[in-house]
Amino acid sequence: MTDSLFRLAHWQPEIAVQLIEIHQAALRDDDVDLLRNTPELADAVAAAHFAQKLAATEAEGTMCARVILGTGEAEGRVLGQVMASQIERTHSTAWISYWLRPEARGRGIASAALRQCVDLLHDECGIYRLELGHRIDNPASGHVAAAAGFLREGTERQRLTYGRQRYDVHRWARLAGDPRPWQVSREGHTASHAAGH
């Protein structure tokens, strides 16, 4: 069961310090998607500031970030992150992103973590519409979105620039009432939520 491989937690200074090594490895491996999703932190003090800033932004209600922490033999190891930023209360929307360190990929962890994050954002944070986007040559990201019940809404032409090249982007979204097949009720029916209505 993938959910037993990790747990979601709030970032803490002593956890955030692992981001230094993750970002450096991304630089070394030229993992551009990981580079763009992780901060460059000079030292433990900068990592502590990063964690404190996330907590403050979350308290303001505009962001919700959860670190994906390993369990069992990988206890306490940062595997990745799921995050809602640009939380906007008038229209009840948020922008979703996620990343995993390379060693944690290929086991369904991003999909399972995003599903837990979807439950948190719709049910506890009361956000109605969740949106995300990824380059069309990043199909793994699209699989993760689909596995968490996002629907593809379109393609933005040449939306992002990496180096000298521009890339088309697939846009996805899900609504609070969209199906969540991972939440099967005791009777065996698929649960459907209407939070936010």
Residues that bind ligand COA (CB under 6 A): 33-34, 37, 97-100, 105-111, 134, 138-141, 143-144, 147
Q: Tell me the closest approach of the beta carbon of residue 78 to ligand COA, in angstroms.
A: 12
Of 47 and 109, the one with the shorter C-beta distance to ligand COA is 109
Residue keyed to tokens 């303001």 = 60
* Cβ–Cβ under 8 Å, residues 78 and 14: no
3-class SS of residue 76: coil
* Cβ–Cβ under 8 Å, residues 132 and 193: no
Of 102 and 126, the one with the shorter C-beta distance to ligand COA is 102
Q: Tell me the closest approach of the beta carbon of residue 194 to ligand COA, in angstroms.
A: 27
Per DSSP, 180 falls in state: E
Q: Which of 108, 112, 114, 110 is nearest to 130 (CA)?
A: 114
Of 3 and 33, the one with the shorter C-beta distance to ligand COA is 33
Q: Tell me the closest approach of the beta carbon of residue 177 to ligand COA, in angstroms.
A: 23
